Amino acid sequence: MTFFVTGTDTDCGKTLISSALLTAAKGETLGFKPIASGCAVTENGLRNSDALTLIEASTIKLPYEDINPYAFEPAIAPHIAAADKGVDLLPNRIAAQLKMAEYVGADFCVIEGAGGWRLPLSQGHFLSEVVQSMQLPVILVVGMKLGCLNHALLTAEAIRADGLNIAGWIANQVDPDMANQQENLAFLKDTLKAPFIGYVPYLAEPSASAVAEYLDLTQLS
């Protein structure tokens, strides 16, 4: 099964949650980060820490370029970084590159987005169009902090308006000092109307294996 992992915004914990999902899943696993900016220059080419984290958590090992085909050095919006390099980020090309998941024997696959649901691509397109074209179920990561209720509800509305299923959602405590955390979590449970996969508390030293303990993949629809 292949899922697309999106979040309420940047730094909501998509990579940590995606790697934990891969760790918690049974069978052969594979994670993709199709688009990434803020990559380091190495002797092997540009490398993104999020993509490397997914590779480490996956049991199926593919060449880096297959996992992260669009890598950009500056930590800016990917469509701007792509334009600076003369690269067109087009939904059909991205979808074609991701279809390899069907041929490598993955039992559980996650495709991690960048930013939020409406990440701009080239020529007026958005990354959400890739998810639509592939008809992927979506896992929503909610970064628990002030403002997350609005971000979570708007993101869920946009996903459903695009005709896609929210397979499940995860609350990730990114702000350890968030006021009324329990009340906010209860509101989201009542309002999002999607399977609740788990609540991840704030962890001083987070890891995929530690976060995986808080996830219940049997809730995925």
Strand partners, 142: 171
- Out of 26, 33, 61, 85, the active site residue is 33
**Residues whose CB falls within 8 Å of the CB of residue 7, separated by 6 or more in sequence, listed in order:** 13, 14, 113, 115, 116, 140, 141, 142, 143, 155
Tell me whether residue 85 is one of the annotated catalytic residues. Answer: no
Are 17 and 140 contacting, i.e. CB atoms less than 8 angstroms apart? no
| 42 vs 116: CA distance, rounded Å | 27
Are 23 and 58 contacting, i.e. CB atoms less than 8 angstroms apart? no
Catalytic residue IDs: 33
